[in-house]
Amino acid sequence: MTLFRYDAAITARFPEVVGGIIVARGVVNGPTPRDLAAAYAAEQAATLARLGDTPLSQVPSLAAWRRFPGLRGGPDAIPQRGGGAAASADEVRHDPEP
């Protein structure tokens, strides 16, 4: 069994932090509605335009994640999905439990 625990640096800075989990069964990921896909693509384009050539390591809201050990997977993994872009809703799939 995998045990989850916050890194000591996190609990030292945020002593009242709490974690949780949501288990969803029987949820089906259908096709992304066209208007949602268009809004998502527009936001991606706007974000890329704002960032320009700025490395993600220099974006303050993402750089903050790097100050805590064990948290780099989240924001740093986003550009690695979908060939350099965040995954679309259609690409995110849930693997059912065996």
What average pLDDT does the structure give for the chain?
Answer: 75
Q: Average pLDDT of 75-87? A: 49
- 45 C-beta neighbours (distance < 10 Å), count: 11
Q: Average pLDDT of 11-19? A: 91
Q: Does the pLDDT at position 5 exceed 60?
A: yes
Q: Does the pLDDT at position 97 exceed 50?
A: no
Instruction: Look at residue 82 and give its three-state secondary structure.
Output: coil
Q: Where are the alpha helices (DSSP H) in 7-53?
A: 8-13, 34-51
Q: Is 76 exposed, middle or buried (0-12, 13-18, 19+ CB in 10 A)?
A: middle
Q: Are 69 and 12 in contact (CB under 8 A)?
A: no
Q: Does the pLDDT at position 79 exceed 90?
A: no
